[in-house]
């Protein structure tokens, strides 16, 4: 998305420079710039656009006219639109995760929090609970909803230590509820995991993830 935005800026800069050229090549040059912009938009998944509105925006910027949309909102609107396009590409992934969580919520012992995070208590500890500013040592085993293992300190035989507020949001929320010595199974919706980003070779964008997390120690 940043690459596309930079390209649009470059194209507009080129158009500013050639605006001063009053010759027979102007129409073909302007058209060519439009083709480049449209092709790149299409490559990003943009199927439709209000061309007159876009032309007006270009004209307003080049001629220093007042913008129809405040400058501070332009990037926000553009980013939101591109995020929506990205989500559309992964509709099946999103639906698969949502269907899994909906069925999982019906199982005995599964607790669903207001955030959408789900968990079951495998072992209930009796120690203190960490806060966001603590570091913790845990053993964990992470899988996709189809059972594919993507990361596991258990398999490595080496627990991991990290700040509570330095991991995915689903973990941040769960860890602060877990007494030391507990082992929970977490079912993390994509928005509390890596969101629209991929992670490593196995975690695709918008992936729902499962973790078994054992809280071993708190470091103040």
Phi-psi region of 111 (alpha: psi -120 to 50; beta: other; left: phi over 0): beta
- Residue of 119, 140, 187, 206 marked catalytic: 140
Mean pLDDT of the chain: 86
Q: What does the DSSP assignment read for 12-28?
A: HHHHHHHHT--STTHHH
This model's pTM is above 0.85: no
Confidence (pLDDT) at 6: 52
Identify the H or E element spanning 115.
Answer: none
Fold of 2-89: Helix Hairpins (1.10.287)
State the alpha helices, DSSP H only, in the chain: 2-19, 26-43, 51-62, 71-89, 91-104, 153-156, 169-175
Could you tell me the residue ranges of all domains in the chain?
2-89, 91-219
Instruction: Please provide the CATH number assigned to the domain covering 91-219.
Output: 3.10.50.40
- Residue of 187, 190, 206, 211 marked catalytic: 211
- Residue of 187, 194, 203, 206 marked catalytic: 194
Comparing C-alpha atoms, which of 143, 159, 170 is closest to residue 214? Answer: 159
- Residue of 33, 36, 134, 150 marked catalytic: 150
Residue 35 has φ and ψ, to the nearest 5°, of -60, -45
pLDDT-wise least confident of 11-15, 138-142, 155-159 = 11-15
HSE (side-chain half, CA atoms, 13 Å) at 51:
7
Burial of 156 (0-12, 13-18, 19+ CB in 10 A): exposed
| Total residue count of the chain as it appears in this document | 220
12 vs 214: CA distance, rounded Å: 54
The number of angstroms, rounded, from the C-alpha of 212 to the middle of its chain's C-alpha atoms is 23
Confidence (pLDDT) at 67: 83
Phi-psi region of 64 (alpha: psi -120 to 50; beta: other; left: phi over 0): left
**pLDDT band with cut points at 50, 70 and 90 for residue 17:** low
Q: Which of helix, strand or coil describes residue 190? A: helix
15 vs 145: CA distance, rounded Å: 49
Q: Decide if 2-89 and 91-219 have a common fold.
A: no
Comparing C-alpha atoms, which of 201, 25, 213, 185 is closest to residue 110? Answer: 185
- Residue of 37, 94, 151, 203 marked catalytic: 151
Residues 144-193: tens digit of each pLDDT: 999 999 999 999 999 999 999 999 999 999 999 999 999 999 999 999 99
Confidence (pLDDT) at 20: 46
> Any catalytic annotation for residue 99?
no
27 has a pLDDT exceeding 60: yes
Q: What is the DSSP letter of 159?
A: -
Residues 60-85: tens digit of each pLDDT: 888 888 888 888 888 888 777 777 77
Q: Which of helix, strand or coil describes residue 92? A: helix
Mean of pLDDT values over 191-198: 93
> Any catalytic annotation for residue 194?
yes
> Any catalytic annotation for residue 31?
no
Confidence (pLDDT) at 51: 79
């Amino acid at each position: 998305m940043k690459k596309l935005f930079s390209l649009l800026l470059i194209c507009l800069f080129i158009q500013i420079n050639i605006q001063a050229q009053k010759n027979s090549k102007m129409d073909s040059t302007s058209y060519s710039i439009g083709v480049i912009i449209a092709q790149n938009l299409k490559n990003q998944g943009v199927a439709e656009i209000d061309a007159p509105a876009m032309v007006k925006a270009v004209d307003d910027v080049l001629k220093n006219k007042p913008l129809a949309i405040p400058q501070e909102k332009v990037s926000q609107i553009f980013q939101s639109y591109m995020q929506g396009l990205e989500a559309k590409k992964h509709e099946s992934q999103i639906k698969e995760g949502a269907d899994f969580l909906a069925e999982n919520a019906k199982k005995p012992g599964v607790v669903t929090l207001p955030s959408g995070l789900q968990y079951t208590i495998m072992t209930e500890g009796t120690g203190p609970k960490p806060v966001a500013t603590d570091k913790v040592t845990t053993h964990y085993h992470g899988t996709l909803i189809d059972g594919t293992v993507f990361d596991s300190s258990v398999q490595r035989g080496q627990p991991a230590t990290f700040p509570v507020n330095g991991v995915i949001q689903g973990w941040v929320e769960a860890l602060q509820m877990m007494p030391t010595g507990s082992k929970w199974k977490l079912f993390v919706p994509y928005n509390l995991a890596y969101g629209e980003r991929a992670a490593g070779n196995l975690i695709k964008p918008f992936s729902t993830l499962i973790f078994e997390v054992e809280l071993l120690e708190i470091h103040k």
